[in-house]
Amino acid sequence: MIRSTLSAAFLAALFTQAVQANEAVTIEFAYPYSAAFDVTFEAILPKFKEKHPDIEIKLRSSYESYEAGTNTVLREAISGNLPDVSMQGLNRQRILVEKGIARSLEPFISKEADFETDGYHNAMLKLSTFDDGVYGLPFAVSLPVGYYNMDALEAAGVTELPKTWEEMIGTCQKLAQAGSKNPVYWDWAITGNWFLQSLMWTQGKPTVEGGRLTLDSPEALTALETVKAIVDGCEMKNLSPNEAIASFSAGELPMLFTSTSSVGRIERAKADFAFSTGKFPGIDGAPKGLPAGGNAAMLTSASDDPEVLEAAWAWLTYITSGEGAAEVAKTTGYMPPNKAANEVILADFYSQNPNKRTAVDQLPLLSDWQAYPGANGLAITQVIYDGLEMIVTGEADDMEELQQELVEQVNDLLPNG
């Protein structure tokens, strides 16, 4: 009787261990911009599940923007409700590293014998490297491009895509003469002051130097004057980015300047017109640089369970690896940060999809999408956003005066005043 009881208990323990061994490890994951990335993860999840049937990926509500994603994670760190993996804008990683929320990936990378040869671009890894440690793996990288309704341009007598903003304003005026009521939208409201930084890098000038903003520079004044010239010269309406994409897709907006990330979305939704992308115009000739947009996957898990952390690492590396990253290019307009995706899996893809190749051709211009220093980085972003909105709505007319106002407000928010 004792033997049979012990045998039963032993068998029960074995059964319990077997059940636990077969239980899936659940990873919670959050990403931004559902309109852009829902279709991407719909393609990635089944493939990941085939390779890792013991890992469940629980999707959290998507972040509305990169700023919203950062704010959400900062709140979740306080409430103890962090996701295991979080997608963060390339310019929003530093604050999560400085606050100890993002975990270093070096302990995981050190266990991967072939990690350095697995296809990751060193230039891309540098976007997520802080104090000589990698804290994120870039997932989707973008550059600004022009979107053109070629039928509308042809009807207006336009035979060449504009290479400078002055040429673009001239194109606007031809489109207006041909009947266009809103010839262009220049995406001033895009996340992280990305387009203002684009105008700065176009001139070869970073927005942040030596821990301070360069808003008091001649290049910054030129950037503000260029925004005003576009708004006034094209009589640009103040749309939201989503409204502009919808208007372009419907054939109502002939030109749109925004991130390459929306190419896939527009190709799926556009009306019957010839659509082409073109390189981002410069101020005086070709741009000298452009900021890298996009996001990185960061390990933000608060768990100490090795199984959870290994599962999170498996998910994080899969979505940024060759196979996972290839889906980014196929479903959006972002560029994979992975050589295996670009050079092997997508060898023929870009020749067959030239609208998605435009940004790839601009990769030599890749520059930092800069974070603003100190704990008030998000507040500084809002100050600059408000200043740009004043130009677009016509509230600000004198760019030197606006520049001075922005410099004063931003200086008050910097760590050392």
- Look up the CATH number of the domain holding residue 355: 3.40.190.10
Neighbours of 309 (CB within 10 A): 19
Q: Is residue 8 part of a domain?
A: no
Indicate whether 151 and 274 sit together in one domain.
Answer: yes
Q: Is residue 335 part of a domain?
A: yes
Indicate whether 166 and 287 sit together in one domain.
Answer: yes
Domain final residue, candidates 367, 387, 407: 367
Residue 23's pLDDT is 80
Instruction: List C-alpha distances in Å: 237 to 152, 154, 356, 370, 371.
Output: 18, 23, 27, 28, 29
Which residues of the chain register pLDDT less than 70? Answer: 1-22, 116-119, 121-124, 340, 344, 417
Q: Is residue 5 part of a domain?
A: no
Indicate whether 136 and 231 sit together in one domain.
Answer: no
Which residue's entry shows tokens 């290019």?
A: 329
Q: Which two tokens stand for residue 366?
A: 């890749």
Q: Is residue 270 part of a domain?
A: yes
Residue 158's pLDDT is 97
Indicate whether 89 and 186 sit together in one domain.
Answer: no
- What one-letter code names the amino acid at 308? V
Q: Backbone phi, then psi, for 107, in 5-degree steps?
A: -60, -30
Indicate whether 181 and 260 sit together in one domain.
Answer: yes
Residue 280's pLDDT is 98
Indicate whether 209 and 232 sit together in one domain.
Answer: yes
Indicate whether 312 and 347 sit together in one domain.
Answer: yes
pTM of the model: 0.84
Question: The domain containing residue 363 runs over which residues?
Answer: 26-141+293-367
Which residue's entry shows tokens 């014998």?
A: 113
Q: Is residue 265 part of a domain?
A: yes
Q: Is residue 124 part of a domain?
A: yes
Indicate whether 177 and 279 sit together in one domain.
Answer: yes
Q: Number of structural domains, the chain?
A: 2
Residue 118's pLDDT is 59
Rounded distance, CA 254 to CA 180, Å? 8
Residue 121's pLDDT is 64
Contacts of 152 by beta carbon, 8 Å cutoff, 6+ apart: 175, 178, 180, 251, 254, 273
Alpha helices, DSSP H, located in 80-156: 93-98, 106-109, 122-126, 150-155
Neighbours of 159 (CB within 10 A): 7
Residue 86's pLDDT is 98
Q: Which residue pairs from 68-77 have beta carbons closer than 8 angstroms and sit at least 24 positions apart in sequence? A: 68/32, 69/30, 69/32, 70/95, 70/96, 70/378, 71/378, 72/30, 73/30, 73/101, 73/300, 74/99, 74/101, 77/101
Indicate whether 181 and 285 sit together in one domain.
Answer: yes
> Exposed/middle/buried for 204, CB within 10 Å: 0-12, 13-18, 19+?
exposed
Indicate whether 171 and 286 sit together in one domain.
Answer: yes
Strand partners, 185: 256
Residue 55's pLDDT is 97
HSE on the CB side for 1, CA within 13 Å? 0
66 contacts 285 by C-beta, under 8 angstroms: no
Residue 348's pLDDT is 87
Three-state SS at 61: coil
Domain final residue, candidates 257, 291, 325: 291
Residue 35's pLDDT is 87
Which residue's entry shows tokens 């050589």?
A: 339
Q: Which two tokens stand for residue 260?
A: 């390459």
Q: Is residue 227 part of a domain?
A: yes
Indicate whether 177 and 277 sit together in one domain.
Answer: yes
Q: Is residue 412 part of a domain?
A: no
Neighbours of 182 (CB within 10 A): 19
Indicate whether 287 and 297 sit together in one domain.
Answer: no
Domain final residue, candidates 291, 306, 326: 291
Residue 416's pLDDT is 77
Task: Give the sign of the dihedral formed by CA 119, CA 122, CA 125, CA 130.
Answer: positive
